[in-house]
């Protein structure tokens, strides 16, 4: 019995020594392990401690206890092998992490801020396409791409893809006349804005019948048709912004998730769709009634976006297939017009959220005259390529995108005239430049190639991205994904990261895992009713089938209580598309740095993965991708 006890104690001492050694190994691994591994190791140490305590409680006083000790020793030795194997695998992963470390190390808050300050400086005059601001912007970005070691994408040896644009300065007049009443001559741009995508010097519409078509939506999948029973050819149609806000029949305080995705905006809610369907129906003019909440921005954004030189693709047909006149009017103007026609606007709006709604002819006529000053010019997408290291995969690509353009200079304003666009989107350009600097330093290098693209004319309707998607320099079927960056969080570190494209593709999972390794969470679009997924360059890639990931700035800052209002909402209300979107003293780019780190990790995973990212089942863009990949 005494010999057995002594043997057992010796076993315990040996086990304790091995435990001590394993603790040292684990601590050593923990010191050299990044984010997630550093959190996993304490759990392993706790497990070691638990087993150690159990062994110390073993009473060595009988043959049965000695047998138990031997069995336990065997189990523990097996555990040691597993733990040591895991630790060695961590060492191997650590070596990769250490090699990769120089890459994300170039992504710093100071570097991001430096790029933003230059691109949003007054010298760049608001970065309007076809201006001095474009010349300075594309030179600065291409110089950064060259310094990072990127290859020029164009066969002519440049970093530029030409995008044919037309600049359009509009001088519009709109008069609405209710039968038997004095005409309503609207004031531009306080009451309305109006322009045309058609590249002709004058648009003239006389005595056109006015028809209210609800939300102006034709959606067969929802059994919805706002044009039923009427021919609107040659007429002027009035439409509500956003898509139909259909109440849940079981709880009228909520929206029906089965209709137009409930609270989230679908493409049917975008102004681009409304003008497209108006053209398909043959309407002479299409007028959107602005409301701040469903539009997700105030009238001042409409005014600053439309009451300036606008841009269209200079297509061969001069865009003659577009609706002749497109306009917005304020809610007050709409209510006055409806009342003059003997109609209750609120009652008609309520009726428009039902499938039974039918268009309502108003007892009024529209007279629209738009004189246009036109210019044609070549704008530019800036594109650099980092070639993949795998000979069999280097002809496959992912794309990082951010638009370089903003709203330019408005000389009619008193005081500050420059829309600097610091958040929107000098911050996104800075992120793409930082990523372009990081990937060439990755070791092991990416297997596939990476394109870094700063697009033109996003503010005019995603035109640069649209041109690339329709005229790709590299095959779309070999393009794995687009990762789009449009307006970064510039207000400090956050608890989470906003995945605007949440629920659309398998890249959600990669972003969520990367965020978790930072001790953060990936959250869905914080304001789905704004339809941001359809308002940025990623949408043009999505439309042609390429899976896209789009992060936003709607994050919960560590400097604020968890339930505090989003700082990004304050920006949208006061600074979005205003001259006040410029660098401020209270900015903190540490959060933006974290976000760019995440995108580096996600991008690195995608270019080295064994399979392409995919759209999730039921996503509207999936059939296009499936058809492309199955050719």
For 58-113, how does the pLDDT look when each residue is reduced to its tens digit (9 = 90+)? 333 333 343 334 344 444 444 444 444 444 333 333 444 555 666 678 899 999 99
The residues pairing with 326 across neighbouring beta strands, listed in sequence order, are 195, 286
Per DSSP, the chain holds a count of helices (H) and strands (E) of: 18, 22
- 550, 558, 576: which is closest to 295 by C-alpha? 576
| pLDDT at 213 (0 to 100) | 98
Q: How far apart are CA 523 and CA 571, in angstroms?
A: 19
Query: Cβ distance 242 to 529 under 8 Å?
Result: yes
Here the tokens at position 571 are: 């920006």
| C-beta neighbour count of 34 within 10 angstroms | 17
Helix crossing, 35-56 with 2-32: angle to 10°?
170
Backbone phi, then psi, for 616, in 5-degree steps? Answer: -80, 155
CB neighbour list of residue 610: distance below 8 Å, 6 or more residues apart: none
Q: Which residues contact 378 (CB under 8 A, 6 or more apart)?
A: 162, 163, 164, 165
* pLDDT computed for residue 389 by the predictor: 97
Domain boundaries, the chain: 2-100, 104-162+379-629, 167-374
Task: For the domain covering 104-162+379-629, report its CATH number.
Answer: 3.40.630.10
Question: What proportion of the chain, given as a percentage, has pLDDT over 70?
Answer: 84
Q: Mark the ranges of the chain whose per-residue pLDDT is less than 70.
A: 1-103
CB 201 within 8 A of CB 371: yes
CA-based end-to-end distance of the chain: 78
CA count, 13 A, side-chain hemisphere, 93: 15
Return all residues near 456 (Cβ < 8 A) that are at least 6 apart.
129, 134, 163, 165, 379, 380, 381, 403, 404, 405, 463, 464
Whether CATH 3.50.30.30 fits 167-374: yes
Of 25, 21, 81, nearest in space to 52 by CA: 21
Model-level pTM?
Answer: 0.81
Q: What angle (nearest 5°) sits at the alpha carbon of residue 493, between those of residues 28 and 453?
A: 100
**Long-range contact set of residues 225-232: C-beta below 8 Å, sequence gap at least 24:** 226/352, 226/357, 226/359, 227/281, 227/359, 228/358, 228/359, 229/358, 229/359, 230/358, 230/359, 230/361, 231/282, 232/278, 232/281, 232/282, 232/283, 232/359
SS (H, E, C) 51-79: HHHHHHCCCCCCHHHHHHHHHHHHHHHHH
* 3-state class (DSSP) for residue 521: strand
Residues 466, 472, 477, 483: what is their CA dihedral angle, to the nearest 10 degrees?
-60
- Quick one: pLDDT at residue 412? 87
């Amino acid at each position: 019995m005494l010999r057995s006890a002594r043997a057992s104690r010796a076993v315990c001492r040996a086990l304790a020594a091995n435990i001590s050694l394993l603790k040292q190994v684990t601590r050593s691994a923990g010191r050299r392990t990044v984010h997630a591994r550093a959190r996993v190791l304490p759990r392993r140490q706790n497990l070691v401690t638990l087993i150690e305590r159990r062994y110390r409680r073993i009473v060595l006083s009988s043959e049965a206890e000695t047998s138990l000790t031997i069995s336990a020793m065997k189990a523990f030795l097996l555990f040691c092998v597993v733990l040591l194997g895991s630790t060695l695998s961590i060492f191997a992963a650590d070596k990769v992490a250490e090699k990769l470390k120089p890459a994300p190390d170039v992504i710093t808050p100071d570097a991001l801020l430096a790029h933003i300050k230059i691109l949003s400086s007054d010298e760049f005059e608001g970065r309007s396409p076809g201006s001095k601001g474009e010349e300075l912007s594309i030179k600065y970005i291409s110089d950064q791409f060259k310094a990072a070691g990127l290859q020029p994408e164009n066969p002519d040896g440049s970093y530029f893809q030409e995008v044919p644009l037309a600049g359009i300065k509009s001088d519009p007049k709109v008069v609405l006349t209710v039968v038997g009443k004095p005409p309503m001559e609207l004031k531009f741009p306080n009451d309305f804005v109006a322009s045309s995508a058609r590249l002709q010097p004058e648009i003239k519409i006389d005595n056109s019948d006015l028809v209210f078509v609800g939300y102006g939506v034709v959606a067969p999948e929802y059994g919805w048709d706002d044009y039923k029973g009427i021919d609107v050819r040659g007429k002027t149609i009035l439409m509500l912004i956003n898509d139909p806000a259909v109440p849940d029949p079981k709880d009228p305080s909520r929206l029906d998730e089965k209709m137009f995705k409930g609270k989230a905006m679908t493409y049917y809610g975008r102004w681009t769709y409304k003008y497209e369907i108006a053209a398909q129906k043959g309407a002479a003019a299409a007028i959107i009634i602005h409301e701040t909440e469903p539009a997700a921005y105030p009238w001042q954004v409409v005014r600053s976006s439309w009451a300036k030189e606008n841009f269209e693709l200079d297509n061969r047909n001069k865009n003659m297939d577009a609706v002749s006149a497109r306009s917005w009017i304020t809610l007050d103007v709409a209510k006055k017009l409806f009342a003059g026609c003997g109609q209750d606007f609120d009652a008609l709006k309520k009726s428009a959220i039902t499938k039974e709604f039918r268009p309502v002819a108003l007892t009024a006529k529209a007279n629209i005259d738009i004189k246009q000053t036109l210019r044609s010019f070549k704008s530019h997408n800036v594109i650099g390529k980092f070639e993949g290291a795998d000979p069999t995969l280097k002809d496959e690509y992912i794309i990082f995108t951010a638009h370089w353009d903003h709203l330019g200079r408005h000389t009619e304003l008193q005081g500050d005239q420059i829309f600097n666009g610091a958040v929107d989107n000098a911050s996104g350009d800075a992120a793409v430049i930082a990523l372009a600097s990081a990937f060439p330093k990755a070791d092991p290098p990416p297997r596939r190639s990476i394109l870094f693209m700063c697009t033109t004319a996003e503010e005019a309707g995603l035109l640069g991205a649209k041109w690339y998607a329709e005229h790709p320099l590299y095959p779309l079927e070999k393009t794995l994904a687009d990762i789009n960056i449009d307006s970064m969080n510039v207000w400090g570190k956050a608890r989470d990261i906003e995945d605007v494209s949440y629920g659309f593709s398998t890249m959600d999972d990669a972003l969520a895992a990367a965020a978790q390794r930072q001790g953060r969470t990936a959250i869905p679009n914080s304001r789905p009713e704004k339809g941001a997924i359809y308002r940025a360059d990623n949408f043009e890639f999505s439309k042609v089938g390429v899976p896209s990931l789009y992060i936003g700035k709607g994050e919960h800052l560590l400097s604020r209580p968890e339930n505090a209002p989003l700082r990004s909402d304050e920006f949208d209300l006061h600074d979005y598309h205003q001259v006040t979107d410029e660098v401020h003293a209270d900015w903190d780019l540490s959060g933006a740095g974290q976000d760019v780190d995440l995108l580096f990790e996600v991008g690195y995973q995608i270019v080295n993965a064994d399979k392409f990212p995919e759209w999730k089942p039921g996503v509207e863009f999936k059939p296009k991708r499936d058809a492309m990949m199955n050719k």
